[in-house]
Copies of this chain bind each other. A is one copy, B any other.
């Protein structure tokens, strides 16, 4: 499992870079002209008021926007040097390498165990063992490890085989995080991962994100400015202007909180009570 080491060397070229990105739903432009480089290994937090296009932006980065009808993306996104918006991109591979966690938890209508075992088996992440039992054992270990990572193991270990839909909201969200992590992607996109979590669980997830920092590149949307402050290396601020989302400022966490250049940013970080 752990043989797959990350390539998170601090190279100067960004791992993931949006260039003049614009997304529209039908006629309505959700955001436009967003250029944002994301360096390998960093945690980039995206903040901004509701409806400014944060989720939409995130969904471009692994081409999830393809799934939304009438959704149209313009511009370029470079990942490891290739433009992933090109139609030739293998989206299966792309999404395997760029994992995503959604704003609303969306476990599959399967058991907790199957929710995790499914992607594991699908991607052949557990080496096929000599016996079926050993194979199952290996899967079990992987599942236990990742559930411990997200702090869910104790809560669900007795109900691994009952439906994931019967978990509480926070439990579901942590399960979804575990599901994304189990694939060990290079980049993790997190859309408000802690919004359904209590402080203890939030802390677990934050800790986890920090622990993953050297190995994974993470882009996280959060409404919790304190959280952004705690975990992010850099922060990008989105805003709605003339009914279109826009990236108004991006900078290191320190700079954004202590010396914002944009007045809206200043108002936001000071007014934000998160």
Residues on A lying within 8 angstroms of B by beta carbon are 25, 47-51, 55, 103-104, 155, 158, 166-171, 174, 192, 195-203, 206, 223-227, 230, 243, 268, 271-274
Contact B199–A274 (Cβ < 8 Å): yes
- List 7 tightest A-B contacts by C-beta distance, closest first: A50-B170, A199-B272, A198-B223, A195-B195, A51-B168, A199-B274, A103-B169
Contact B168–A198 (Cβ < 8 Å): no
Q: A55-B168, A55-B169 are in contact. Are A48 and B273 (CB under 8 A)?
A: no
CB contacts (< 8 Å) of A171 on chain B: these are 50-51
Contact A166–B273 (Cβ < 8 Å): no
Distance A254 CA – B8 CA, assembled complex (angstroms):
47
21 interchain pairs, CB-CB under 8 A: A48-B198, A49-B201, A50-B168, A50-B169, A50-B197, A51-B167, A51-B171, A55-B168, A103-B169, A103-B196, A104-B104, A158-B243, A196-B223, A199-B224, A199-B225, A199-B271, A199-B272, A202-B223, A203-B271, A224-B224, A226-B273
Distance A47 CA – B197 CA, assembled complex (angstroms):
11
CB contacts (< 8 Å) of A224 on chain B: these are 199, 224, 274
